[in-house]
């Protein structure tokens, strides 16, 4: 079998590490080339590399919750990813642990035989400075622009322009732009709408605005500009992790990233996931 597979197990999770070891054994018996992430290598006893070094392999398997898959997707870019769900909700991770061996080995065999497998692309967002030379790492869930901190005394005045037309401007904790994938995350906690994964849309939502407008659903190709002012410091943040400090007044452009995340294997049931939300 001429297939290269990377396996990433949720950090400090013995169950994930044990499943990773089983997958390594099964795939290597079939002749696949397998590496695990360097945090798992010691526990599994096989070749280990940084997750980013798995970019370009035929398949990367993420074992954990949606947070683990978000991390993996950020590191490996457009490399096909399969999610095995050890979490509670699992909007992205469709494969149950008991089914993992069969699904992963079947996918590897299909890749070996045909060179490809059926996949689903998930849009990512890119934030760039309009008058400043910076670009954040792409976000699978959301881009957020907010003041120096959340809560009392920490907001900013944030304006929203859609294709050059003003939609809203208000003092607020911030504004977020979410993908359909991210609609069930930060967006939902801020009162934004749920978006079915098959919908090709983005959501623009204010966060605790003093003069609120309803969350706005737009086409993915829409030009979205967020203007932040009336604060000494603000931030643009990608998926709650990568951040860029802003010196207001500042403008941030949010648009589709060039490369989507490529999910392979069974699809998670969106409505089953909703039943597990609190």
Which of 81, 20, 77, 29 has the alpha carbon at shortest distance from 48? 20
Instruction: Establish whether 167 is an annotated binding residue.
Output: no
Distances (CA, A) of 195 to 123, 271, 276: 13, 11, 16
Which positions are annotated as active-site residues?
66
Distance CA 28, CA 14 (A): 21
Instruction: Establish whether 123 is an annotated binding residue.
Output: no
Instruction: Establish whether 187 is an annotated binding residue.
Output: yes
Q: Is residue 229 helix, strand or coil?
A: strand
Instruction: Establish whether 234 is an annotated binding residue.
Output: no
The continuous run of DSSP H or E covering 204 comes out as strand 202-207
Instruction: Establish whether 272 is an annotated binding residue.
Output: no
Instruction: Establish whether 230 is an annotated binding residue.
Output: no
Distance CA 114, CA 120 (A): 17
Instruction: Establish whether 66 is an annotated binding residue.
Output: yes
Name 49's Cβ contacts closer than 8 Å, sequence gap at least 6. 6, 35, 36, 37, 38
Instruction: Establish whether 157 is an annotated binding residue.
Output: no
Instruction: Establish whether 196 is an annotated binding residue.
Output: no
Annotated binding site for NAD(+): 66-67, 141-142, 171, 173, 184-189, 208
Annotated binding site: 66-67, 141-142, 171, 173, 184-189, 208
């Amino acid at each position: 079998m001429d297939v290269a597979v990377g396996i990433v197990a949720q950090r400090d999770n013995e169950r994930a590490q044990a499943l990773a070891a089983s997958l390594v054994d099964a795939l290597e018996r079939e002749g696949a080339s397998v590496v695990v992430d360097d945090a798992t290598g010691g526990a599994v006893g096989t070749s280990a590399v940084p997750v980013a070094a798995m970019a370009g392999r035929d398949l990367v398997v993420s074992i954990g919750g949606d947070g683990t898959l978000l991390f993996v997707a950020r590191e490996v870019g457009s490399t096909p990813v399969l999610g095995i769900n050890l979490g509670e909700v699992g909007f992205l991770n469709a494969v149950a642990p008991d089914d993992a061996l069969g699904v992963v080995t079947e996918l590897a065999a299909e890749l070996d035989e045909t060179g490809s497998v059926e996949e689903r692309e998930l849009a990512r967002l890119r934030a760039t400075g309009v008058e400043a030379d910076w670009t954040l790492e792409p976000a699978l869930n959301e881009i957020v622009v907010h003041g120096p901190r959340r809560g009392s005394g920490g907001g900013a005045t944030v304006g929203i322009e859609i294709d050059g037309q003003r939609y809203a401007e208000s003092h607020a904790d911030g504004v977020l732009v979410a993908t359909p994938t991210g609609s069930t995350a930060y967006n939902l906690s801020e009162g934004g709408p749920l978006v079915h994964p098959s919908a090709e849309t983005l959501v623009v939502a204010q966060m605790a605005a003093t003069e609120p407008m309803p969350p706005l659903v737009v086409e993915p190709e829409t030009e979205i500009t967020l203007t932040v002012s009336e604060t000494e410091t603000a931030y643009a943040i990608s998926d709650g992790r990568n951040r860029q400090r802003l010196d207001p007044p500042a403008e941030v452009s949010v648009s589709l990233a060039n490369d989507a995340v490529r999910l392979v294997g069974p699809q998670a049931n969106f409505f089953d996931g909703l039943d597990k939300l609190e």
